[in-house]
Structure 1
């Protein structure tokens, strides 16, 4: 390490590192004591700690740490919080007064103590190393008082303002003050208020800001957005979230000249796709990343042909694209009037970009997402133990979040919702991150998803809320002829009967992965699973994966001795990849 990178964790992109000389340790010295760690390592550790805690914990340990703490290379973060004890607050204030030139980050969340704190110290040019400032929960008059002093700071690159206490409606003064900060690279404003606005006039050449990354989590019209970003010609990243309805017409979408913009994340409600397209055209930018989240009010958002045309014509440099749309069904399962055709992102354009459709069902909400294909859980082996190549047309996934409070043991609603999403897309992979899903419900779900290739479960329940019905038993008995599931992952095995059930539920499985989370003997855990394999019923099963955090080479030897002495497998191989142990046989 030749330099210390003092990362601002939320703003890594803009931080400019400070360079300090590296401590050298002789090559013949074995680093076994904390005292042998270099100064750079300690500086990296301090980045994760509150500066006041670091100061009082390390300053008086010994001469080395005293020099370390007082060094100009030691830059510290300070956090004030409304829940902080008075003693800690007093220590922090004392530390700030004595060490202004070593503070590079201040985070203030003080809705109840702002007046007292601001009266005792002022953020001014004496904070010569301050690079990041976060203000949260404070009254608007105190925010403005602080903003007035900020232009004198010689290194302020990042500013965030969250949840102003008195619910400021007009943000004009805030933005005007922010745009006067001479070195600012990152600005974020967040509020939950639904009726904020701005009345900024478009910028002149003498009013341009240095901001390159802006996050706007507040309501404004596109006309107001156009005025705001007219002040930021150097803008490269824009995260714009309009949480509520906006007044929009084609006439209000003004030209948005952003020649440097390469990243756009935008979330809007009640916006037609044609209007969104007009907005993209007006930007005339060189976007490389586009992330869109929109309420599902227009079927065109899920029209792959329209997106393909938009990207080819107006976003030729786009490298990354993702889309999320929502359907709010609640308990009423009336078909949406906006769904007209199946969701199909399967043309050569989308296949080349490895884009797939994922769906999540949760508490009456359906979220469709179009995103790049990611490595699946059964593709995590370095040596490609599993031959798991899947066609692009078989990549769509559904995730089922089951909430007992919502369904109240009436899972017919969930089954109907799955039927609902099947009308617009087929799914080949399912994940159910629900603790102890009732096996009867699981049987019903898999029965209406016969094309599934992979199944990932958290854990199983055999008798809650009831026993299996005769219909569910019949479905389970017929799985030998209907199941196509090859890859199965059980994160928490509660009892060995879980394995029996999965063998019957997924008789065509090739690969079974189980996470070990028990206190009992790990050899007994593996032995019991191997004994449960029915080689006649599960004739295709060839690989077992055990995720064991304590896995090492010695454990591999013990497994080999156990398998050989008890003749649990023949013609097998066993290998370890990190915390995963793979057993494979022919």
Structure 2
């Protein structure tokens, strides 16, 4: 070990430095590494009364099962935040602990890849936790029992913050029934990150009278039913709503009824151009949202003539809007499709670089070129990178639209732009013609990228093999990239073989398509050289998955005791080992 101020032994480092190392590694990972080293490290790992954060994300089943019992037995009284990778982990922890043993100091719980089937026991346990104030649920299947979910959440007596998300799109087809226990939930901040109907929103609001901040995604039923909306006492001051196929006529009654105390309003809409009726907004805000300080509107629309654009902007430039400093602009995404949106200042975390045929630099100009709020940039047109002058100092995510081809010229322009590629940790490519070489070149420009999502993967030549690649370039990329999570559509078994040979730190793989997944599963579970870090496989098939056949495949290679299988539905399953 390198000498630092006379210290030559790792064991001689101060406790303060050791705790910094523990924080960097993560407390559970540090426990695995150091606990059995000597008695001093055992004392450091367990004797402190300092509250700890335990992150079990990106952990293999074998690593988790090796230490979790003794770790939680020794540290349950210290855990303030707990991040769980999947439902199997949570079940193992709860079932292992004695019946009266609780996470009495747990304040934040994040449950990822959650299967809500038979979750009554889970919510029963959570209801006993006296300090649980923040709950984040990421649900695997969108077709879950909404009654059971809300019933479980609304009886958590200390909950202040709750976020629920789902990776799948399903609407609640069955009506929501009143919760038996009518105790009011203390939730003050609620995020519903999946599509719900307006009826479901009314149902939710009736149980959260202390709610101050709400974020939700609403859609309309095909038939607009005009029905009375019962007033509900609420304290809403901050609302963010994304509408899908919901007209102004349908949404307006909800704004009148629920938004009387609103101070901050973010609204994303599409199609119905009544959302661009400035006079209608002036009347609504003046009479029903008089406390509104921030009004941030984004509306996707089609404007074929520049005169339409100028007329629209003029409507939103009257004294009413200027006095409140609510400024708007318009930019094209492709063809005549564009977006009318708020600016000066721009406040959202996502920003779309839009093509504007009326601007010589192919970019809708804004006065403030330093957008500190933006974390995610969406590139919608190949021309807009040229002469791109906006700064995104806090950028971490980059998405390329379906009309953007990843060419050498585009990559060259990106590298010369103000986009800080070294900060990017997540990349999404929606173009279906993206080539394998282009992916490698892009990832070389973004060496800190950990998550990659692809609509497809194309090989530039038939019968391409690794020997045709420049070996030095390949080895350099394979050894240095840190991609951990990939989502992609497969077209052949060769796709997966080449993918894992290049992305050798891959931990979590989500695949979809019409492939024979049995062969892929065999390969991923038996390949040792390139898949040493891989521990999770999420399959989204376009055809029914033969469950018995998949189980037999795992048994054939002697992995049935090693692999946990969770069938989400007939076309989706999750493997963890």
Query: Where on the TM-score scale, by shorter chain, does this alignment land: which range?
Result: 0.5 to 0.7
1:355 CA drift (Å): 2.3
> Deviation of residue 53 (structure 1)?
2.1
- Taking the aligned partners of 1:243 and 1:302, their CA distance within structure 2 comes to 19
Structure of larger gyration radius: 1
Q: Residues 65-464 of structure 1: matches in 2 within 5 Å?
A: 66-67=43-44, 70-81=47-58, 84-110=60-86, 119-121=95-97, 125-165=101-141, 167-191=142-166, 192-196=168-172, 199-201=175-177, 206-242=182-218, 248-251=224-227, 253-258=229-234, 260-283=235-258, 285-295=260-270, 297-327=271-301, 341-344=311-314, 345-362=316-333, 366-373=338-345, 400=353, 418=357, 455=389
In 2, the alpha carbon distance for the partners of 1:62 and 1:362 equals 62
Q: Deviations over 1:222-249 (max 9, x none)?
A: 2222122111111111111126757644
Task: Give distance in 1, aligned partners of 2:165 and 2:28.
Answer: 27
Return 249-258 or 145-154, whichever deviates more: 249-258
Question: Which structure would you say has the larger RCO, counting Cα contacts within 8 Å and 6 or more residues apart?
Answer: 2
- Give the Cα separation in 2 of the matches to 1:182 and 1:318: 31
Q: TM-score, normalised by structure 2?
A: 0.54
Q: Deviations over 1:104-129 (max 9, x none)?
A: 22222326777656644589652111
Asked whether the 8 Å contact 1:128–1:153 carries over to 2, the reply is yes
Distance 2:382 2:63 in 1: 48
Kept in 2: contact 1:47–1:77 (CA 8 A): no
Q: Please give the alpha-carbon distance, in whole angstroms, between the structure 2 residues aligned to 1:294 and 1:352.
A: 24
1:238–1:122 distance in 2 versus 1, CA, 3 Å: farther
1:288-318 CA-partner distances (Å, limit 9, x unpaired): 11111112x2222123332233222212222
Q: Determine the C-alpha separation between the residues in 2 that align with 1:304 and 1:435.
A: 27
1:281, distance to aligned residue in structure 2 (A):
1.0
Q: Distance in 2 between matches of 1:243 and 1:126?
A: 40
- What is the alpha-carbon distance in structure 2 between the residues aligned to residue 464 and residue 55 of structure 1? 46
Q: 1:125 to 1:263 in 2, by over 3 A?
A: farther
Q: Which 5+ residue runs of structure 2 have no aligned equivalent?
A: 1-9, 370-376, 393-406, 410-415, 421-444, 446-577
Q: Specify the SS of the correspondent of 2:172.
A: coil
What is aligned with 2:4?
A: none
Distance in 2 (CA, whole Å) between partners of 1:428 and 1:105 is 41
What is the root-mean-square deviation in Å for CA atoms of aligned residues? 4.8
Matched position secondary structure for 2:195: coil
* Change in 2 beyond 3 A, CA 1:352/1:58: farther
Structure 1 residues 457 and 301: alpha-carbon distance in aligned structure 2, compared to 1, 3 A threshold: same
Paired residue secondary structure (1:290): strand
- Alpha carbons of structure 1 residues 195 and 123: separation in structure 2 relative to 1, 3 Å: farther
Checking the alignment, whether the CA contact within 8 Å between 1:323 and 1:371 is kept in structure 2 is no
Distance verdict in 2 for CA 1:187–1:196, change over 3 Å: same
Q: Tell me the SS of whatever aligns to 2:150.
A: helix
Describe the shift of the 1:206–1:271 C-alpha distance in structure 2 as closer, same or farther (beyond 3 A).
closer
Distance in 1 between the 2:317 and 2:247 partners?
A: 23
Q: Is the 8 A contact 2:353 2:380 kept in 1?
A: no
Q: Once the 2 structures are TM-superposed, how far is the Cα of residue 220 of structure 1 from its aligned partner? A: 2.8
Shift of 1:428: 6.4
Deviation digits for residues 430-454 of structure 1 (CA, Å, limit 9, x no counterpart):
9899799779x96xxx9xxxxxxx9
Does the aligned pair in 2 maintain the 1:237–1:263 contact within 8 Å? yes
Alpha-carbon distance between aligned partners in 2 of 1:141 and 1:122, rounded to the nearest angstrom: 23
> What's the counterpart of residue 566 of structure 1?
none
Distance 2:98 2:240 in 1: 35
User: Aligned equivalents of 1:198 and 1:44: distance in 2?
Assistant: 51
Q: Distance in 1 between matches of 2:249 and 2:153?
A: 33
Closer, same or farther: CA 438–128 of 1 in aligned 2, 3 Å: closer
For the 8 Å contact 2:85–2:112, the answer to whether it is kept is yes
- 1: CA distance between counterparts of 2:126 and 2:268? 34
Q: 1:139 to 1:152 in 2, by over 3 A?
A: same
Secondary structure of 1:349's counterpart equals: helix
Q: Is the alpha carbon distance of 1:181 and 1:348 closer, same or farther for their aligned partners in structure 2, counting shifts above 3 Å? A: same
